[in-house]
Amino acid sequence: MEDDDALHHVNVFSSDRLWEPPSFFDEADIQDSALFAPLQLDIASIKFEHPYAPKHDLERELRLPDLDTFEFGPLPDLASLDESSISPQIPPLEPEEDVWPVALELGPVDKDVLFYTWESFEKGEHVPSQTPYITEQGPAAFDATLAEDEGKISTGRILKGDVLLQSLWNLGLGRSSIFFQFSPKLKTFEPTIQHGRVSGLSLLAAQSLTTHFTHTGNTFLYLRSFAERTFTSTTSIPARVALATSVSSILSSLEDTLGKQSVNINSLIQLQHHFTRPRDILFHVARTVDAGKHAETNEQLASILHHRLLELEEGDEHLRRLSGQILCQVARPSLELLSEWIGIRKEQETSPVWQRESFVAVEDATAEPASLEYTYRSEMMPRFIAPEDGNTVFETGNSLRFLKSHHPQHPLARLDGLAVQPPDLEWGFAWQDIELLADKAKAYEERLRRTLLDFSDGRSNIVPILPSTPEATSDIPAEIQNLERYFENSIQCMDALPNWSSQALPDELALLMEDMLNTRRDVNHTASNTFAPPLSLAATLSFRPLITAQAKLVNAATVRLFFRSHQLRLHLSLQRQYHLLGDGVFSSLLATALFDPDRESAERHKGKMRSGVHMGLQLGARIAWPPASSELRLALRGVLSESYYASALHQSTLGARKLSSAAPLNYRDSDELPGQLNFAIRNLTEAEQEKVMDPDALHALDFLRLQYVAPTPLNLVITSTALDKYDYIFKFLLRLLRMLFVVSHLPRDNADTASRQFRSEAYHFVITLTNYVFQTGIAEPWNAFESFVAAVELRLNEEDAAGELGVRVTEGVASLRDAHEQCLDSILFALLLRKRQRKIMALVEDIFDHILLFAKTHNSGAQQGGESVRGLYAKLKGKIRVFLSVCRGLTGKQDYGKGRGTAEENSLERLVVAMEMNAYFAGS
């Protein structure tokens, strides 16, 4: 009981007494384990008849031998090891014994070896039973069984095995044979013997195998037919020819490999195994050909194959490599076209890029080559070219055409005479290949930069173009002058065997096919472990380094020429001075010539001679309108020339050749202004012509425009689209100039209060709007654009001083054009001239119409102070209130801001604040 109590007090979950022996063992150290009983071996009871079986008890059998009584004698003394125990005399050799007769008498080595099964091991008299499967009894038993059940199952005709094996091999290669012939009507292979089979194979299994090889042969024949049709067609595009060439190379590799393996094929299973990998390749290539059969251009076909390659991103590695190599061949025509456009490949003189239905088009193909305006067709660019790279390619080629047209001796325009050989646009799918392409592009950029710097310093390494003159024929070699010898050498050269170059590289596609067909599917190929970027980035990473390098240096060269040889700053300032009314002298002269009633009228009157000096149109003080062309010439004569030759812009262009400021006026009039700047008549629709007929309407001067033709190559920056925007802005500014003249000449001493209030508010509205237009709407965007242009020119000067090129200035003609277009868009937006702002501009035009109607009433001498003036004033005030309400609503809207932070973000807010007049229009 005490022991039981002691056990109850022990914590069985504690590890303190874990190593103590169990309490129910009395002598734990002496007692043997009860888990395994001691092994008792009775040697006498062992009945094994084995030569190595123990004959006595284990203690005797396992004892160590006695070294003193060992049968081989006592061990030698250790001290005797110091002396040599080898006899120097070699005993004579015994005659060599012939072992082959003995081996023949003994017989095979394994003649006494018996191979037992488990059954025969347990029972020596066991007789193995025959297998119940007929297929294991051999082909004869299987055929006999089929013949026995011929009524139930169709047995078919047994064909000769080796002949059928050879026929199936030819069938897999798309060839006719004894047992299979191609049917042109059905466009497939048909068996010449129906229901034929090989011995040991059922008819159903034989037909399934035949169908398998028939499908393979049809695919082989389809691809061979595609290649032949493409080669013989006169309308095949180069990309399809490249695809057909790749398909032909693949088929040749398959035929060559399978032809070498045909001698080792002894069974249908071997035949099917050898055709497994070629079958996968054939089907993949056939699907690729089907995907691109509707492509009409090189770019479209290359884009389709690139999309197919992206679908194999996580697919079979070998098929992905094969598709990548096919894409390299098919995309080569498109890449060559890109190379010709950007100048790293010589362009075909007989077929320019824009004549090949490519990504480059021209608006007027009949224009001179120097004045052609190229248009970018992004839909014709291959899809594997990134959009930003496509824009860079087009702009680089556009700038290069400028160099070829206006500076043909420039190194970039002379690819044939340039010592720097540019690399080609190549694909790279592995990182090591991409890095190699980037290194090539970098090395080419450095070589071309040194060449351009040498050209700018006068150290040119360009091979001059020698004209082909008749005198050059005197340098003909003597062997050519001797016609007989020349013809003999030509005949010998044509009869000789082809001289293959030892450096000629084998077909990469053939090497890839050989690698694919000789690599077991279950073995990881080294290509599967290649470290490569995603396939979607392969094109960008491969082509961008070379495209960027070429664009960088072309931009650096063209921008310099635009600033220093073609006076870009002058023509940009000319637009600011005249189209945007940035010249006060021009604005004053134009307003006086158009609106001043005190000037001599240019209108023709019967019996009155016009002086032709200081004449005007007197708009607002005449009834007959519009003026004749002779009136326009007389009124506007000298307006442009006087303002231009008196401007600081003209003085800055003179340089050392300064003309006298007192030059005769007629000399200046005869001199042509930059860009053929002159006044012209705008083309109007019938509806617009009807509005122009009224001299008191706001649209009376819409027919007048400034004509400017951007000289080539400045049309690359000052495009026709930009000139249309300038014309639209000038038409609005001309209306605003008229309103400014009208409100400035309204009488101040009106008798009635309504007239005074009308005049005051109209003057305030027009003056405030004019200040906003010129100070905010035009000045701010143009100043930002001028700062950009000045910064580019400053960096050009810094590069020249440092002897660099394309390092600090990477902007090209496209950057200047885009900045110019953005500046004009900002001006249009600030002046409320965009299409989505038409309703706001309609309110401004209504306000102008009310002011012109009030001026007409005043000029006609009608009674003032009546209901008409008060009604006009009420309408004017209402329109201004609505206009300001709309502007308040636009405050803070998108695109109406001018920056970030707490600075004056909104330009319209400044217009509202200037017009608010202490919240006068805030009320309802």
Q: What is the DSSP letter of 496?
A: S
**pLDDT, mean of residues 750-779:** 90
Output Rg (C-alpha) for the chain, integer angstroms: 50
Burial class (CB in 10 A: 0-12, 13-18, 19+), 456: middle
For residues 163 and 214, give the distance between their C-alpha atoms in angstroms, rounded to a whole number: 16
Lowest mean pLDDT, pick from 414-428, 677-691, 827-841: 414-428
Mean pLDDT, the chain, whole residue set = 80
**pLDDT, mean of residues 635-659:** 78
Which distant-in-sequence residues (6+ apart) come within 8 Å of 231 by Cβ?
241, 244
918's torsion region: left (phi>0), alpha (psi -120 to 50) or beta?
left
3-state secondary structure 440-479: HHHHHHHHHHHHHHHHHCCCCCCCCCCCCCHHHHHHCCHH
Contact 634, 610 (CB under 8 A): yes
Structure tokens at 208: 């399934």
Q: What is the DSSP letter of 790?
A: H
Whether the CA torsion 374, 377, 378, 381 is positive or negative: it is: negative
Which distant-in-sequence residues (6+ apart) come within 8 Å of 887 by Cβ?
840, 908, 911, 912
Res 206 pLDDT > 70? yes
Contact 183, 217 (CB under 8 A): no
Residue 910 lies in a domain: yes
Burial class (CB in 10 A: 0-12, 13-18, 19+), 827: buried
Residue 895 lies in a domain: yes
Report CA-CA distances (Å) from 163 to 50, 73, 158, 178, 211.
Answer: 58, 75, 11, 8, 17
Residue 494 lies in a domain: no
Contact 792, 559 (CB under 8 A): yes
For the ranges 52-61, 126-135, 219-228, the maximum mean pLDDT occurs at 219-228
Which residues make beta-bridge pairs with 375? 361
Res 350 pLDDT > 60? yes
Contact 735, 701 (CB under 8 A): yes
Residue 440 lies in a domain: no
Please give the pLDDT value at position 549. 94
Other CB atoms closer than 10 Å to residue 704's CB: what's the count?
21
Please give the pLDDT value at position 479. 43
Which distant-in-sequence residues (6+ apart) come within 8 Å of 48 by Cβ?
none
Contact 527, 418 (CB under 8 A): no
pLDDT in tens, 854-876: 988 877 655 444 458 888 899 99
* Backbone dihedral angles phi then psi of residue 482, each to the nearest 5 degrees: -85, 100
Please give the pLDDT value at position 912. 87
Res 748 pLDDT > 60? yes
Q: How many residues does the chain have?
A: 924
**What torsion do the CA atoms of 40, 45, 50, 54 make, to the nearest 10 degrees?**
50
Burial class (CB in 10 A: 0-12, 13-18, 19+), 379: exposed
Instruction: Note the pTM of the prediction, 2 decimals.
Output: 0.73
Q: What is the DSSP letter of 81?
A: G
**pLDDT, mean of residues 487-503:** 63
pLDDT in tens, 437-473: 999 999 999 999 998 888 877 655 554 443 434 443 3
Residue 909 lies in a domain: yes
For residues 752 and 741, give the distance between their C-alpha atoms in angstroms, rounded to a whole number: 23
Contact 326, 243 (CB under 8 A): yes
For residues 878 and 874, give the distance between their C-alpha atoms in angstroms, rounded to a whole number: 6
Alpha helices (H) along 49-160 = 58-61, 99-106, 118-122, 139-148
Q: What is the per-residue DSSP string for 582-608? A: --HHHHHHHHHHHH-TTSEE-S-BTTB
Structure tokens at 440: 């090539």
pLDDT in tens, 160-195: 878 888 889 999 999 998 888 998 888 898 888 888
Give the count of domains, the chain. Answer: 1
Alpha helices (H) along 97-202 = 99-106, 118-122, 139-148, 161-172
Residue 655, classed as helix, strand or coil, is coil
Q: Which amino acid is at 289?
A: V
Q: What is the DSSP letter of 745?
A: T
Please give the pLDDT value at position 126. 65
What is the domain range of residue 890?
A: 746-860+867-923
For residues 551 and 806, give the distance between their C-alpha atoms in angstroms, rounded to a whole number: 9
pLDDT in tens, 78-132: 454 444 444 444 444 445 566 677 777 777 665 665 555 677 666 766 666 677 7
Contact 254, 514 (CB under 8 A): no
For residues 524 and 518, give the distance between their C-alpha atoms in angstroms, rounded to a whole number: 13
**What torsion do the CA atoms of 269, 271, 277, 281 make, to the nearest 10 degrees?**
-130
159-189 in b/e form (b: 16+ CB < 10 A) is bebeebbbbbbbbbbbbbbebbebeeeeeeb
Residue 822 lies in a domain: yes
Give 549 or 364, the one with higher predicted confidence.
549
pLDDT in tens, 353-376: 888 888 999 887 787 777 788 899
For residues 738 and 728, give the distance between their C-alpha atoms in angstroms, rounded to a whole number: 16
**pLDDT, mean of residues 906-915:** 83
Residue 887 lies in a domain: yes
Query: CA angle 102-107-109, nearest 5°?
Result: 105
For residues 104 and 336, give the distance between their C-alpha atoms in angstroms, rounded to a whole number: 77
Whether the CA torsion 143, 147, 151, 155 is positive or negative: it is: positive
Contact 710, 718 (CB under 8 A): yes
The H helix count followed by the E strand count for the chain is: 33, 10
